Amino acid sequence: MIRKLLRRVFKRPANAIPTEPAIIPVDQHGVTSKQISSAARKVCSVLQEKGHKAYVVGGAVRDIMAGQTPKDFDVATSATPEEVKAAFRRSRIIGRRFRIVHVMSGPETIEVSTFRASQDAETAETDEHGRILRDNVFGSQAEDATRRDFTVNALYFDPTTETILDYHHGVADLKQKTLRMIGDVRTRYREDPVRMLRAVRLGAKLGLSIDPAARGPIREMSELLENVPPARLFDEMLKLLLSGHAVNCLKQLREEGLHHGLLPLLDVILEQPLGERFVWLSLDNTDQRVRQGKPVSPGFLFATLLWHEVLANWEARKARGESVYPALFEAMDEVLDRQAGKLAITRRIVGDIKDIWALQPRFERRNGKAPYRLIEQARYRAAWDFLRLRAESGEIDTSVPDWWNQFAHANGTEREAMMHGGPADGAPRKRRRRRKRSAGAKSEDAPAGDAT
């Protein structure tokens, strides 16, 4: 209470809202309207013609200036959601608390939000740690700029004049490759601890160094992430892992001590040499695919991140005499349950993860009808990719994925020959012994694709 009162009396200058932005011409920032999607340009011009302010804002402007291709285009405007909706036939208002408008144009959807006020801990509804629960009051453009997290995210590009309105020296920061927080750093992290993760992700993605003032408090404040709803953490973690810079991001997270709060099991996994190798290999693989524009599966990625924990749990159960498949399924559930408390992986992705894990022991059976059934599984390819990563990381012999690759591409007679090829099948000895032991458990009929 007293602190709140003091803050009200001695309002920090860091929170002061600048009224006049710098107006930066195109020759100083290099963003042209050609680089903006036609849909976003149209949204801005239609709103402007109706007398409203409208700008492309946020990640898109920042990414173009940094020489990267933006994922999507967001528009910020002085028009209310109702006014925006009325201006575009194909549009709808979404969100109950803070309403934004989706404007559809061809295959594109442009997210249009009305300028929002920057709320501080005195006026906003917060939890007991200072985390802002609602952020839903309309405001001026200057206020809208000030409630954004980093200076490089608070640039307003006007496609009509090709100027950038810059309230917080974001253009200069971007040129100097610095990620700087708007306002008082600690307050901003308290209001929304996810900003710590965003700092790491945006720094890695754009090659910016986090300003020491913003970097400094992360370590000591990292535990605030525990109060963030698990679904929100999952969204942010997914963005981070699919950013094309996952390796760098995770290294940085580790350096800042942030990984403790996120993937609680990752702590443990990264301590084991095999697990660590597996995780880095998988992240590196994902980064390369993202950068080549190839699709990546979040299920596959999370399956790799948590695999060594499942493996340890599974081995322990088998050592206690549980049979192979039930032990695996129990291990999978236990690991996923523990994970869910911190970071809520969506149900669909959990299904994908389980499919991939559940198919792994089936690669150990290379006789009878089992191999034919396995290669027909819908998730065979993902499961095989996973198997290959396990081999690359040294967990199993590389001859195992090699055998399956050969088998999957062979014709009927070649397959017959491979089955009777004896030692040429190259299964690691340890695995083979286990296979014999489990043969009595009718493991070949274990459910796989229907693991959820």
Active site residue 72: yes
H-state helical runs in 176-258: 185-191, 194-206, 212-215, 218-221, 230-241, 246-255
CA atoms within 13 A on the CB side of 365: 24
Least distance CB 9 / ligand ATP (angstroms): 26
Residue nearest to Mg ion (CB): 59
- Report, in Å, the least distance between residue 58 CB and ligand ATP: 3
**How crowded is the C-beta side of 405, counted as CA atoms within 13 Å?**
12
Shortest Cβ distance from residue 244 to ligand ATP (Å)? 11
Among Mg ion, ligand ATP, none, residue 149 binds (CB under 5-8 Å by kind): ligand ATP
How far apart, in whole angstroms, are the C-alpha atoms of residue 387 and residue 384?
5
Query: Beta strand 108-114 with 74-77: parallel, antiparallel or unpaired?
Result: parallel
x/- map, 18-57, ligand ATP, by CB under 6 A: ----------------------------------------
User: Residue 59, interface with Mg ion (CB under 5 A)?
Assistant: yes
Q: Which stretch binds Mg ion (CB under 5 A): 55-63, 240-248, 290-298, 414-422?
A: 55-63
C-beta closer to ligand ATP: residue 287 or 425 = 287
User: Restricting to residues 137-156, which ones interact with ligand ATP according to CB under 6 A?
Assistant: 148-149, 153-154
Q: Hey, what are 133's tokens?
A: 């629960």
195 sits near ligand ATP (criterion: CB under 6 A): yes
Rounded distance, CA 278 to CA 291, Å? 20
207 CB contacts (<8 Å, ≥6 apart)? 66, 177
User: Cα angle vertex 185, ends 223, 236, to 5°?
Assistant: 55
- Report how far residue 185's alpha carbon sits from residue 196's, in angstroms, rounded to the nearest whole number: 10
Q: Of the listed 63, 74, 166, 352, which one is catalytic?
A: 74
Nearer to ligand ATP, 204 or 247 (CB): 204
The two tokens of residue 9 are 């009396």
According to the binding rule CB under 5 A, does residue 193 interact with Mg ion? no
Distance CA 440, CA 62 (A): 60
Binding positions for ligand ATP, 236-255, rule CB under 6 A: 239
> Tokens at residue 263, please?
């993937």
Using the contact rule CB under 6 A, the part of the chain among 42-50, 77-85, 193-201, 249-257 near ligand ATP is 193-201
Range 53-82, binding ligand ATP (CB under 6 A): 58-59, 71, 74
Please give the DSSP secondary-structure letter assigned to residue 131. -
Furthest C-alpha separation in the chain:
85
Q: Which tokens is 430 given? A: 């340890």
Count residues near Mg ion (CB under 5 A). 1
Q: Of the listed 63, 120, 144, 149, which one is catalytic?
A: 149
C-alpha count within 13 angstroms, C-beta hemisphere, residue 329: 12
The smaller minimum CB distance to Mg ion, of residues 240 and 266, is found at 240
Active site amino acids:
72, 74, 149
Kindly list the residues in this chain that would bind ligand ATP in the complex (CB under 6 A): 58-59, 71, 74, 148-149, 153-154, 192, 194-195, 198, 239
Kindly list the residues in this chain that would bind Mg ion in the complex (CB under 5 A): 59
